Amino acid sequence: MASFASPIIVTDGDLNVPFDRPDDANTVKVNYLLASYGAMQHVEQSTHARDGILGVVITGDDCQPTDVTVVNLSGVLSDHNLVQWRFNLRLPSEPVYAERERRLWRQFDLPNFRNALTSSPAARPVQVVSADI
C-alpha cells in the first residue's frame, strides 16, 4: 500500500497497542514498523475510559494532521472517547503516472519453464564420493 498511494491515513478506534507505554514490547514493534514506512501515530491523549491510547491516527510523513483532539464521550455511548483530526490535503490537479515493468503471466509458458529448470545445472544429481579412512 505504501508504495502505491499517497497520502496514507490509518485510523482505528481500538488498535489494542498501548501507545501511552512507549517501552511496551508491542508498542516498540508497531512504532518500528510505522517508522520503516515513514509513518507515525499522532494521538497523544488518553482515548479510553480507563486511560490508555488505543484510538489512533496514523499518517505518513507527507500528510501530518494539523489538529488532533480527543473528546470525552466515555459513559455516554462507549468506553472509548471520540478522536477528531484535521488535514490540509492538497492533491495534485493532474494525475501522476508511473511506468512499471511486470511479468506477463498470461504469456507464461509452463512447459518451457519446467524444461529450463530440469535442464539447468541446479537440477543435476550430486555425486558423493566417499573415501575410506
By mean pLDDT, which of 31-35, 44-48, 64-68, 91-95 is the weakest? 91-95
| pLDDT on residue 75 | 65
Domain layout of the chain by residue ranges = 1-118
Mean pLDDT of the region 83-93: 79
Confidence (pTM): 0.59
Q: What is the pLDDT of residues 5-48, one digit of tens each?
A: 567 788 887 788 889 899 999 999 999 999 998 888 998 888 87
Mean pLDDT of the region 117-129: 79
By mean pLDDT, which of 23-27, 35-39, 62-66, 123-127 is the weakest? 123-127
State the burial class of residue 82 (Cβ atoms within 10 Å of its Cβ: 0-12, 13-18, 19+). Answer: middle
Helices (H), the chain: 25-36, 110-118
